Structure 1
Amino acid sequence: MAEVARTAGPGGAKEQVRRLLALLPYLLAHPGARVADVARTFHITEKQLVSDLGVLWFCGLPGMMPGDYIEVDMDAVEGEGVIHVSNAEFLARPLRLTADEALGLLVALRTLRESGGQAERALLDPVIERLEKAAEQVDAGLDKVAVRVDAAEDPKVRQTLQDALARGRRVHLRYWVPYRDETTERDVDPMRLLQAEGWTYLEGWCHRAEDVRLFRLDRVSDVQVLDEPAAPPPQARPRDLSEGLFRSSPDYPVATLELEPSAAWVAEYYPCEQVTELRDGSLRVRLRVADPRWLRRLALRLGGGARVVEPPELAEAVRQDAVDALAAYETTDPAGAGGVADVADSRPGMR
Structure 2
Amino acid sequence: MTSTPGERERRTSERVIALLMLLIHTRHGYTTAQIRRHVEGYAELGDEAFEKAFQRDRALLEDIGVPLSLEQPEDADARHVVDASALLLPEIDFSGAERRALLHAREVWSETRLQTEVMRAVGLLVDPGSAGEADDGLGLPRVVQRLTPNLEVFLDAAVEQQVLAFGYRTAAGAVSPQDRPRRVRIWSALEIGGAWYAAGWDLDRQGERLFRVSRVIGRPEELPGTGSDAPARPADWNPVEIRDRLLGQGEGLRDRVRLWVAPGRGHSVRLRGQAVTPTAQDGAAPGEGWELWETDRPAHDGLVQLCGGLMGVVQPSAADPDVVAEVLAAWRRVAEVHDGAPPPHPELAKPRQSRYRQGQRERVSRLLDIVGLANRAGGITKVELADRLELSPKALDADLRDLQYCGLPERLFPGWLFDVDAESDVVEVRQAVDLPAPIRLSLPEAHRLSAALDTVAQMPHADDEVAPAAVTAAARIRQVLADVGHTGATTSVRPSTGGTDDPGDAAAVVPSAADGGGAGGHEPPATPVTSFWDVHADQDTVRVLMDAVARHRVVRLRYHALHSDRTTEREVEPVQLVQSGVVLYLQGHCRTAGAMRTFRVERISAVEPTGEIAKARRRPKKTMLTPVDTTLEAVLAWHHRIRDLADDYAPRLEAQDADGRRLTRLGLLSEDAAIALAGMHAGDVEVLEPAELRQAVRDRALAALRRLETAVRL
Match of 2:480 among 131, 137, 140: 137
Matched, 1:93 2:437: yes
Residue 215 to residue 296, structure 1, CA distance change in 2 (3 Å): same
Mapped to 1, the partners of 2:567 and 2:629 lie a distance apart of: 29
Structure 1 stretch 169-178 or stretch 22-31: which is displaced more?
22-31
Match of 1:264 among 643, 649, 665: 643
Q: Is the 8 A contact 1:106 1:131 kept in 2?
A: yes
What is the SS of the residue equivalent to 1:121? coil
Matched, 1:189 2:573: yes
Residue 158 to residue 280, structure 1, CA distance change in 2 (3 Å): closer
Mapped to 2, the partners of 1:240 and 1:128 lie a distance apart of: 32
Matched, 1:33 2:392: no
User: Counterpart of 1:177 in structure 2: which amino acid?
Assistant: A
Residue 90 to residue 262, structure 1, CA distance change in 2 (3 Å): same
Deviation at 1:5, TM superposition (A): 4.9
Residue 164 to residue 282, structure 1, CA distance change in 2 (3 Å): closer
Deviation at 1:330, TM superposition (A): 1.7
Mapped to 2, the partners of 1:43 and 1:252 lie a distance apart of: 40
2:446 counterpart residue number: 102
Deviation at 1:181, TM superposition (A): 3.6
The higher-RCO structure (CA 8 Å, 6+ apart) is 2
Question: For each residue in 1:11-64, what CA deviation from the matched residue of structure 2 results, as whole angstroms up to 9, or x when unmatched?
Answer: 3223322333334445665745269x93x8656677765554454332102455
Mapped to 2, the partners of 1:308 and 1:172 lie a distance apart of: 38
Spell out the pairing of 1:159-170 with structure 2 (5 A cutoff).
159-161=543-545, 164=548, 169-170=553-554
Mapped to 2, the partners of 1:161 and 1:174 lie a distance apart of: 13
Mapped to 2, the partners of 1:131 and 1:31 lie a distance apart of: 27
User: Counterpart of 1:14 in structure 2: which amino acid?
Assistant: R
1:12 counterpart residue number: 359
Matched, 1:284 2:660: no
Deviation at 1:138, TM superposition (A): 0.9
Percent identity of equivalent pairs: 28
What is the SS of the residue equivalent to 2:438? coil
* TM-score, with structure 1 as normaliser: 0.68
Q: Is the 8 A contact 1:299 1:318 kept in 2?
A: no
Q: Is the 8 A contact 2:555 2:571 kept in 1?
A: yes
Spell out the pairing of 1:241-252 with structure 2 (5 A cutoff).
246=625
User: Counterpart of 1:68 in structure 2: which amino acid?
Assistant: W
Which has the higher Rg, Structure 1 or Structure 2?
2
User: Counterpart of 1:132 in structure 2: which amino acid?
Assistant: A
What is the SS of the residue equivalent to 2:568? strand
Spell out the pairing of 1:26-65 with structure 2 (5 A cutoff).
26=373, 31-33=380-382, 38=386, 42=389, 52-63=399-410, 65=413
Structure 2: gaps (5+ residues): 10-355, 490-523
Q: Is the 8 A contact 1:114 1:147 kept in 2?
A: no
Q: Is the 8 A contact 2:687 2:693 kept in 1?
A: no
1:237 counterpart residue number: 619
Q: Is the 8 A contact 1:25 1:93 kept in 2?
A: yes
Mapped to 2, the partners of 1:322 and 1:256 lie a distance apart of: 16
Matched, 1:306 2:685: yes
* TM-score, with structure 2 as normaliser: 0.37
Deviation at 1:189, TM superposition (A): 1.8
Structure 1: gaps (5+ residues): 338-351
Residue 156 to residue 131, structure 1, CA distance change in 2 (3 Å): closer
Question: For each residue in 1:261-295, what CA deviation from the matched residue of structure 2 results, as whole angstroms up to 9, or x when unmatched?
Answer: 344233455543443223443332234x3634544
Match of 1:70 among 398, 413, 418: 418
User: Counterpart of 1:231 in structure 2: which amino acid?
Assistant: A
Mapped to 1, the partners of 2:363 and 2:627 lie a distance apart of: 30
Residue 136 to residue 203, structure 1, CA distance change in 2 (3 Å): same
Deviation at 1:222, TM superposition (A): 1.4
User: Counterpart of 1:94 in structure 2: which amino acid?
Assistant: P
1:157 counterpart residue number: 541
2:21 counterpart residue number: none
Mapped to 2, the partners of 1:232 and 1:318 lie a distance apart of: 46
What is the SS of the residue equivalent to 1:97? coil
Mapped to 2, the partners of 1:253 and 1:34 lie a distance apart of: 48
Deviation at 1:73, TM superposition (A): 3.9
Deviation at 1:66, TM superposition (A): 4.6
Deviation at 1:95, TM superposition (A): 2.8
User: Counterpart of 2:700 in structure 1: which amino acid?
Assistant: D
Question: For each residue in 1:92-132, what CA deviation from the matched residue of structure 2 results, as whole angstroms up to 9, or x when unmatched?
Answer: 52232234323322332233233224x52324544653452
User: Counterpart of 1:133 in structure 2: which amino acid?
Assistant: R
Q: Is the 8 A contact 2:574 2:588 kept in 1?
A: yes
Mapped to 2, the partners of 1:279 and 1:166 lie a distance apart of: 49
User: Counterpart of 1:12 in structure 2: which amino acid?
Assistant: G
Deviation at 1:10, TM superposition (A): 1.8
Mapped to 2, the partners of 1:61 and 1:277 lie a distance apart of: 52
Structure with the larger helix share:
1
Match of 1:221 among 605, 609, 633: 605
Mapped to 2, the partners of 1:212 and 1:23 lie a distance apart of: 40
Residue 52 to residue 316, structure 1, CA distance change in 2 (3 Å): farther
* Aligned residue pairs, count: 318
RMSD between aligned residues: 4.4
Deviation at 1:220, TM superposition (A): 1.4
1:341 counterpart residue number: none
Mapped to 2, the partners of 1:43 and 1:250 lie a distance apart of: 34
Mapped to 1, the partners of 2:614 and 2:656 lie a distance apart of: 48
Question: For each residue in 1:309-337, what CA deviation from the matched residue of structure 2 results, as whole angstroms up to 9, or x when unmatched?
Answer: 45x3xx52353243134224323423999
1:113 counterpart residue number: 457
